[in-house]
C-alpha cells in the first residue's frame, strides 16, 4: 500500500511516500527545515513557522511524489499529522492534505505525532512488533508509553514540565550555542568529563514513571549564570558531558521501573533526542543487561519527518481510522 504523508507540526515541513505491507520502504522523504529562520530568535516562533509551512508545503509534497516516481493516482491513502503541535503549523499541513484527499477521492488518515515518532522504527530491518515500551523524547515531548498494539498507546510516564530536547536546547543557548543546541551538546559531551559536575536527577523521587527536567535545567542555568557573573572560565564540554550523564541516568532509572512493572521485553527509543549518541549507548547497555530487545531508528528518521507519519498512517488505516472533510487539528496531547 502506497501512502503519501505530510508533517508540519513544528518547524519542519515534510512530505514522504512510503510503501507499507510485507516490507516497509521509504520511496521518498523530503524535509524542509526552518531552523535557520528560527535560530535568529533562539527558538521556534509559531507564526513564522505557519507562514513558512504555507510557502513550502505544496512544493515539498509534489517533490516527494516526483522523487518516488509516482503521481497522486498511485496513492492509496494520505496520512497527515493532526496533533499535538503548534496549532497554526498543524493546520497548514492538515488543510493541504485534506484538499488533496477530498479533491482526488483518496482516504485521509489523521496521525498523532508521537505515535508517528515511534513508527519510524518500523523501517528497521528487524522491526519491533507491539507490545513494547517506547520512550519518545523530542523538543516538545518526553513520555514513556506502553504500546499494546500498533494503535493502542497508553502514556505511563511523562515529564511534568520541560521536555528533554527543550532542556538540552536551553542549556546550550546559555552557553552561546545556536538553536537547536541538542546535537552540539551531544558532540561536546563526547569530549567532556562527565564527572566534572554533579547535576540533580530528573527522575521524580516517587514510584511514578514521571520526570521533571525543569529542575535539572534550572540547576545548570544557575551554574552557568554564576560562572558568568564571576567571569569564571568553564568547560562547555564538561557541562555538556555532566548534564548528559544526569539525563541518561534519569532515563535509565524510570525505564528500569517501567520494565519492572510491565511484562514487556522490547524498548523503542524515538523522537529528535533519540539521535543522541550517549542516550543510545546507555540504553543499548541497559537493554543488554536486562535482556530487552532495543530498537532505535537511524538518526535521519529520529527528527520530524513525513515517512514516520506514513508508517503510522498505515496501521491507523488498517484499524479503520480514516477521517472526513471535517477533520481538525489539536494542539496538545489527547488520547495518548
CB-nearer residue toward Zn ion: 75 or 94:
94
**H-helix segments, 153-290:** 164-174, 182-191, 213-229, 236-261, 277-290
Least distance from ligand KG4 to the Cβ atom of residue 166, Å: 6
Tell me which residue of 101, 132, 105, 100 sits closest to 119, measured CA to CA. Answer: 132
Binding span for ligand KG4 by CB under 6 A among 54-62, 64-72, 100-108, 183-191:
183-191
**For residues 79 and 61, what is the distance between their CA atoms, to the nearest angstrom?**
12
CB-nearer residue toward Zn ion: 238 or 304:
304
Residue with the three cell numbers 564571576: 230
| One of 276, 301, 309, 313 touching ligand KG4 (CB under 6 A) | 276
Judged by beta carbon distances under 5 to 8 A according to partner kind, the member of ligand KG4, Zn ion, none in contact with residue 273 is ligand KG4
| One of 56, 183, 224, 268 touching ligand KG4 (CB under 6 A) | 183
CA quadruple 90, 91, 92, 98: dihedral sign: positive
CB-nearer residue toward Zn ion: 18 or 204:
18
| One of 130, 157, 182, 192 touching ligand KG4 (CB under 6 A) | 182
Contacts of 295 by beta carbon, 8 Å cutoff, 6+ apart = 121, 124, 126, 127, 128, 132, 266, 267, 268, 269
Binding span for ligand KG4 by CB under 6 A among 126-134, 180-188, 226-234, 288-296:
180-188
| One of 88, 93, 165, 306 touching ligand KG4 (CB under 6 A) | 165
Does 238 help bind ligand KG4 (rule: CB under 6 A)? no
Least distance from ligand KG4 to the Cβ atom of residue 117, Å: 6
**For residues 185 and 220, what is the distance between their CA atoms, to the nearest angstrom?**
13
Cis amide bond preceding 131, omega within 30:
yes
Least distance from ligand KG4 to the Cβ atom of residue 275, Å: 4
110 touches 104 (CB < 8 A): no
DSSP one-letter code for 203: B
Does 323 help bind ligand KG4 (rule: CB under 6 A)? no
**Binding residues with ligand KG4: total (CB under 6 A):** 20
Judged by beta carbon distances under 5 to 8 A according to partner kind, the member of ligand KG4, Zn ion, none in contact with residue 306 is none
**For residues 165 and 97, what is the distance between their CA atoms, to the nearest angstrom?**
28
Tell me which residue of 157, 172, 289 sits closest to 220, measured CA to CA. Answer: 172
Binding span for ligand KG4 by CB under 6 A among 18-26, 134-142, 254-262, 316-324:
134-142
Does 272 help bind ligand KG4 (rule: CB under 6 A)? yes
**For residues 61 and 140, what is the distance between their CA atoms, to the nearest angstrom?**
25
Least distance from Zn ion to the Cβ atom of residue 336, Å: 13
| One of 186, 210, 282, 316 touching ligand KG4 (CB under 6 A) | 186
- Three-class SS of residue 200? coil
Residues shown for the chain:
336
Binding span for ligand KG4 by CB under 6 A among 32-40, 73-81, 266-274, 313-321:
266-274
Least distance from Zn ion to the Cβ atom of residue 111, Å: 12
CA distances from 279 to 19, 24, 289 (A): 30, 26, 15
CB-nearer residue toward ligand KG4: 186 or 237:
186
**For residues 161 and 45, what is the distance between their CA atoms, to the nearest angstrom?**
20
Residues making contact with ligand KG4 (CB under 6 A): 10, 138-140, 165-166, 168-169, 180, 182-183, 185-186, 271-273, 275-276, 303-304
Amino acid at each position: 500500500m502506497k501512502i503519501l504523508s505530510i508533517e508540519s507540526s513544528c518547524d519542519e515541513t515534510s512530505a514522504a511516500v512510503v510503501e507499507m505491507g510485507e516490507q516497509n520502504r521509504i520511496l521518498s522523504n523530503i524535509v524542509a527545515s526552518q531552523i535557520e529562520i528560527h535560530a535568529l530568535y533562539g527558538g521556534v516562533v509559531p507564526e513564522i513557522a505557519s507562514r513558512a509551512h504555507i510557502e513550502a508545503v505544496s512544493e515539498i509534497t509534489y517533490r516527494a511524489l516526483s522523487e518516488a516516481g509516482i503521481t497522486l493516482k498511485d496513492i492509496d491513502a494520505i496520512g497527515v499529522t493532526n496533533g499535538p503541535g503548534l496549532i497554526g503549523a498543524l493546520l497548514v499541513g492538515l488543510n493541504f492534505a485534506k484538499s488533496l484527499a477530498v479533491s482526488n477521492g483518496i482516504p485521509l488518515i489523521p496521525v498523532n505525532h508521537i505515535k508517528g515518532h515511534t513508527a519510524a522504527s518500523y523501517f528497521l530491518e528487524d522491526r519491533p512488533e507491539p507490545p513494547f515500551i517506547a520512550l519518545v523524547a523530542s523538543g516538545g515531548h518526553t513520555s514513556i508509553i506502553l504500546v499494546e498494539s500498533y494503535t493502542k498507546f497508553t502514556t505511563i510516564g511523562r515529564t511534568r514540565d520541560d521536555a528533554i530536547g527543550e532542556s538540552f536546547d536551553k542549556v546550550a543557548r546559555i552557553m552561546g550555542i545556536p538553536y537547536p543546541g541538542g546535537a552540539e551538546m551531544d558532540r561536546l559531551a563526547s569530549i567532556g568529563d562527565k564527572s566534572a559536575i554533579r547535576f540533580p536527577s530528573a527522575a521524580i523521587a516517587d514510584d511514578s514513571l514521571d520526570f521533571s527536567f525543569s529542575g535539572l535545567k534550572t540547576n545548570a542555568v544557575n551554574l552557568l549564570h554564576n560562572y558568568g557573573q564571576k567571569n569564571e572560565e568553564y568547560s562547555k564540554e564538561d557541562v555538556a558531558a555532566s548534564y548528559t550523564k544526569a539525563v541518561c541516568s534519569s532515563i535509565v532509572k524510570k525505564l528500569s521501573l517501567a520494565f519492572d512493572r510491565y511484562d514487556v521485553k522490547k524498548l523503542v527509543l524515538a523522537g529528535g533526542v533519540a539521535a543522541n549518541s550517549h542516550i543510545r549507548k546507555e540504553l543499548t547497555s541497559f537493554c543488554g543487561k536486562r535482556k530487552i530487545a532495543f530498537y532505535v531508528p537511524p538518526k535521519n528518521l529520529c527528527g520530524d519527518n513525513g515517512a514516520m507519519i506514513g508508517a503510522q498512517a498505515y496501521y491507523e488505516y488498517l484499524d479503520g481510522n480514516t477521517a472526513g472533510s471535517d477533520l481538525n487539528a489539536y494542539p496538545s496531547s489527547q488520547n495518548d
